[in-house]
Amino acid sequence: MKYTMKQTIAASLLFVSASAFAANGELVLNTETTFNPSHTNRFSFMLGVNPSLTKAADMSSFNFSYGKKLENFWADANVMMTKGLFNKFSANNATATGATDDQLAEQENTLTSIGLGIGRETRYAQTLLPFDYIYELMAANLTYNIYKEDFSGKSFSGPGLMAKFSVYKRFNDYFSAGAHFNYNLAVVKRSQENDTETSSQRSLTLGFLTMGVDLSFYL
């Protein structure tokens, strides 16, 4: 299910992008006045869950995002808090966690991610949907992550990446609502316990997707 969801999202992005090309093969951008609203600050509140509908409760996330409009892009800052089962975050590295797969199977852990990046707002989906004022936002962030493994009480930290995609409807100059997809990837390490311990022996690779609701306010 995890890979199917990723493939579906990727296919949708390609299809939406392809629709922006005219018959002569040239890229057509929407230059209507409504495409360049006057707001310069965006405050977004995103609630997400595991994309598998039968296991949605296995992971939940809350992301606060602040965007500052530049000439053609948005500067993007995020604070994301995620809680979920260990196996939704990562595969076990027993030397890093000091625990077996069975011990971690039902263990809930927490991840805090802080990110800075850049995004682009577009209206490519507008040509496909029978609604007005439909926008997309695609953004990429470099992140710093703190992962708490509750079974052993160990803390892991390290760099990562966050990719965001939102589709939303602008209801007025100050509010929009829609759906979002967040993919997070990070390599985190705990502190060294002895001089012979290598970096790989104390590392975890985190990778997960969440989807949910995006509520944004503009000033």
Architecture of the 42-218 domain? Beta Barrel (2.40)
CA distances (Å), origin 190, targets 61, 152, 184, 201: 23, 12, 19, 9
Residue 36: pLDDT above 70? no
Residues 191-209 pLDDT 10s = 999 889 999 999 999 999 9
Reported as a pLDDT band with limits 50, 70 and 90, residue 6 is low
Residues 106-127 pLDDT 10s = 899 999 999 999 999 998 888 7
Q: What is the pLDDT of residue 124?
A: 86
Over residues 127-138, the mean pLDDT reads: 86
Q: What is the mean pLDDT of the chain?
A: 87
Over residues 166-189, the mean pLDDT reads: 96
Torsion angle of C-alpha atoms 118, 68, 214, 127, degrees rounded to 10: -70
